[in-house]
Chains A and B, each alone.
Chain A
């Protein structure tokens, strides 16, 4: 029953049920421009799903100390909500769970305020962050077995879902390198797949109580060594067996940027709905969209609903994306341009992918 309820939000006869866009939530100063962008650019392309990467970019009431200094107010958020309602766009707010609790040399707000949640307190934040480094520090993680961590997380998850009026939440959970650390008194020695799966289940079950879905990035569920996909977009730390340990109604966001990997088939065959998430390589995103359409075309009735659609990701500042989109290669847009090709950008990919999706919808 859960499945038909969930799927009913999208048209399973469509070429692409999910037509998604994933971007950082705007700053309060960039809010009106983003709201305009929703109407001008997302709505005409038929986008029906918006991942908003917010983390602590909201003035939380439950834990005010967690809010970014320049965070969105409730009134700000409601402007986005109103725009999305008008155009039938489902907002899925995101807070990074487990991993991504620091960025470069800076701790995130959760660990800054609750240092006791740190999975690796013995790893000190460097003054000058460089990658690679001898600690293997990409981002900090929280300890999923800390007895107090879920009280805080559930409060902010509930609050962000409430304010965005969301029936789904994105838990991030990508690129987790610190997990089950040998020095963590709670986690050491525990099967990392089980640690990861347990955290997915805990979050999933909490959301489920309020009829909300969990969406996550797919990389920890792929074996990076055996597939050659590597340790970013797949896992080198034994988490991949969690694919057989998590509820099947978690939606998998499978991101690959340089090759049109066929990994969504693997997720679909394991019983998950899966969306393919390109970034900044237009020719690849076009192939990925064609793949998704073809998988759906030839699938059994059981498999077809698993091939859920496409979500373009941006991985940059909200205003920077719009700068680039409208032809202004500002300082905040530049960093997102592919080092190998000036025409490989998230905004070019966005345009190319949605153009191709439109063609495929016409051809049907």
Chain B
């Protein structure tokens, strides 16, 4: 009798729970219709706002991950501002355009990794060299990849006692100015982590180091009712899956998938193959977004995959297949140039070396066309 009662209570709970989830998921195949791009320099803000109105709004893009980093005139730490960084007024123009078009802005600052680019340190390590995870590795005059230091990008040390004071300030400031209820922390392609020469990190399980940083940032955001989004590559075992060390991890971080909060949103990026990794994230309890780049054919297959997963999923799994997000990996103006037919020095590196028709802007068009077809055919 007791067990029977338990079953009834359980059944009720499951029914109530799935009703809640399906309500969240709505009737859409793609809950997230995303677009991810570098934030514009102050001189390009008006052009970008026009692009939002004319191209994002018309495609019903509802989520804009804006890669800001230090391209903002931070008041808390003015020394962290990039040159030509956006002012508060610039940001408010973008915020207004997005509000008007019901686009949720999710600003991004790269945490942990990507603290340098080429031979240049970014603003954080330039101003706080003591946060460097690998101070013994000097920035080269001429950067080439590969190199003997395996220097792709510098990382900050997540166990430095002062680092979160600075980071939390700029995160809060950025989320406030963008009026954002979610923050994207990057955290992709982290090669330097738990370095053997770092007095604080050496010998610590890298999965735990990574997970602790993810959870710390998540908890900070949670206090202000904000969500954490991040790139998912560190949660995938690059060797066992053959996905390699860019879009998956070779440095033992993948077990962190069992150590982080389930309410973080995974941005799962694969460009050359329609990998089925989103299923793995969804089965591990996470909302997941597939993020293509510059291969239109692959993006179309990835879009079809996402729609099929949603179609056949259980009510519990369905809301986790969260949608699609186009990535650009070029400057804002470079992308807009390309989109309107101009390939120049500032965007030509985004063209696929194998095929001039494979570009982020062609992928953006093809993917959104496919998404609309699938929504219409539903």
Where the two chains meet, the residues of A that have a C-beta atom closer than 8 Å to any C-beta of B are: 132, 134-136, 222-223, 225-229, 259-263, 265-266, 269, 271, 287, 295, 298-303
Contacts and interface: CB of A to CB of B under 8 A. Distances in A.
A132 B7 contact: yes
A291 B114 CA distance: 37
Contacts of A303: 241-242
Interface string B1-12: 111100100000
A258 B279 CA distance: 18
B274 interface: yes
B83 interface: no
B145 interface: no
B147 interface: no
The 6 closest A-B pairs by CB, nearest first: A302-B242, A228-B316, A300-B242, A228-B314, A265-B279, A265-B276
B312 A259 contact: yes
Contact of A298 (B7, B237, B301): B301
Given A226-B285, A228-B316, A262 B243 contact: no
Contact of B280 (A134, A266, A287): A266
Contacts of A225: 316
Interface string B260-285: 00000000000001111101100101
Contacts of B2: 134
B280 A269 contact: yes
24 contacts: A134-B1, A136-B3, A222-B283, A228-B18, A261-B312, A261-B314, A262-B309, A263-B283, A265-B276, A265-B280, A266-B283, A269-B237, A269-B277, A269-B280, A271-B240, A295-B276, A298-B276, A300-B241, A300-B242, A300-B273, A302-B240, A302-B241, A303-B241, A303-B242
Interface of B: 1-4, 7, 14, 18, 236-237, 239-243, 273-277, 279-280, 283, 285, 301, 309, 312-317
Contacts of A301: 242
Contacts of B236: 269
Nearest to B318: A228
Contacts of A229: 314
B213 to A, nearest CB: 22
A291 B210 CA distance: 34
A300 B236 CA distance: 14
A220 to B, nearest CB: 15
A251 to B, nearest CB: 17
A299 B275 CA distance: 7
A324 B279 CA distance: 36
A257 B220 CA distance: 43
B274 A298 contact: yes
Contact of B4 (A134, A226, A265): A134
Contacts of B237: 269
Q: Which of B3, B301, B309 has the most CB of A within 10 A?
A: B3
Contacts of B315: 228
A192 B242 CA distance: 32
A74 to B, nearest CB: 43
A189 B241 CA distance: 35
Nearest to B21: A228
Contacts of B241: 269, 300, 302-303
A263 B313 CA distance: 11
A43 B1 CA distance: 51
B283 A227 contact: yes
Contacts of B316: 225-228
Contacts of B4: 132, 134
Given A269-B237, A295-B276, 11 more contacts: A134-B4, A228-B314, A228-B315, A228-B317, A262-B312, A269-B276, A298-B273, A298-B301, A300-B241, A300-B275, A302-B242
Contacts of A222: 283
Contact of A300 (B14, B243, B301, B317): B243
B314 A262 contact: no
B300 to A, nearest CB: 13
B273 to A, nearest CB: 6
B262 to A, nearest CB: 9
Contacts of B243: 300
A308 B347 CA distance: 43
A229 B312 CA distance: 12
B246 to A, nearest CB: 13
